[in-house]
Homo-oligomer: A and B are copies of this chain.
Amino acid sequence: MTHSLKKAVVLSSGGLDSTTAMAIARSEGFEIYSLSFDYGQRHAFELTAAKKIAERLQVARHLVIAIDLHTIGGSALTSDLEVPKSRTPETMTSEIPITYVPARNTIFLSYALAWAEVLESSDIFIGVNAIDYSGYPDCRPEFISAFEHMANLATKTGVEGKTRVHIRTPLLHLNKAQIILEGTRLGVDYSMTHSCYDPSPEGLACGQCDSCILRHKGFMEAGIPDPTPYQGTAVRNQDV
């Protein structure tokens, strides 16, 4: 085991959480294989961020997989699922893939599992967080445990007992401020990460969406200057 680094597949959205998870994986001595998904033009900034982060963290390979979630997710729009209120049509359209695509983490982790098997890696990192996203079923510890159990029955290596797949969730029980403190300690440049649901055409964060507000609050609580490039003075209004 001394001749080469252990490999880890790290799910990367280009956001704050997954970038911190990647920095943690690297600090544990893993060679990083970062994996992002292209499921619509809304995510162009996220994918650009994920690519830059992959370069900065010197990953062994960065893979972007195109997935067709619109076909399924589009059905939700025409069904009787409840649509969130008090949002502009633009915001709704841009948020529905995030909020409403069911089984998203299951699909993401399934691709990660496939790649991990090809790479003969036994570690998959995902930046899920049970505190800030407690309402999401596929961020709960019991979901992650069940996926890990399934994963070890799904693959050839699992059958042969050669490697055991671990789904690693280093952020699971941290709040946003704790995540930021840990990432900062590891040298993460958060100005590279992208969290905003509704960025400007230039990619600047709006400072007003749920994701921006949560992120900014995390920096304030951590006592670390927020390096996010915002549009105008959008966030200053939140600095109470």
Interface residues of chain A, those whose CB is within 8 Å of chain B, are 63, 65-69, 71-73, 75-76, 79, 81, 101-107, 110-111, 113-115, 117-120, 137-138, 140, 142-143, 146-147, 149-151, 153-156, 158-159
Q: Bound complex: CA of A190 vs CA of B113, how far in Å?
A: 34
Q: Bound complex: CA of A107 vs CA of B114, how far in Å?
A: 8
CB distance from A3 to the nearest CB of B (A): 14
B contact residues around A159 at 8 Å (CB) = 137
A113: which of B75, B76, B102, B117 is its contact (CB, 8 Å)?
Answer: B102
Give the residue name and chain of the B residue nearest to A100 (CB). B118
B contact residues around A104 at 8 Å (CB) = 114
Q: Bound complex: CA of A65 vs CA of B66, how far in Å?
A: 11
B contact residues around A101 at 8 Å (CB) = 114
9 nearest A-B pairs in the assembled complex, by CB-CB distance: A102-B117, A103-B114, A146-B150, A143-B153, A110-B110, A107-B110, A137-B159, A103-B113, A106-B110
Give the residue name and chain of the B residue nearest to A64 (CB). B71
The answer to whether A106 and B72 touch across the interface, beta carbons within 8 angstroms, is: no
The answer to whether A151 and B106 touch across the interface, beta carbons within 8 angstroms, is: yes
The answer to whether A63 and B72 touch across the interface, beta carbons within 8 angstroms, is: yes
User: Can you show 16 pairs from A to B with CB atoms below 8 A apart?
Assistant: A65-B68, A66-B66, A66-B68, A79-B119, A81-B118, A102-B117, A103-B110, A103-B113, A103-B154, A106-B114, A106-B151, A107-B107, A137-B153, A137-B154, A146-B153, A146-B154
Give the residue name and chain of the B residue nearest to A105 (CB). B154
Give the residue name and chain of the B residue nearest to A81 (CB). B118
The answer to whether B65 and A118 touch across the interface, beta carbons within 8 angstroms, is: no
Q: Bound complex: CA of A92 vs CA of B159, how far in Å?
A: 24
The answer to whether A155 and B102 touch across the interface, beta carbons within 8 angstroms, is: yes
A68: which of B67, B102, B110, B158 is its contact (CB, 8 Å)?
Answer: B67
A76: which of B102, B118, B154 is its contact (CB, 8 Å)?
Answer: B118
CB distance from A69 to the nearest CB of B (A): 7
The answer to whether A150 and B153 touch across the interface, beta carbons within 8 angstroms, is: no
Give the residue name and chain of the B residue nearest to A38 (CB). B68
The answer to whether A69 and B146 touch across the interface, beta carbons within 8 angstroms, is: no
B contact residues around A151 at 8 Å (CB) = 103, 106
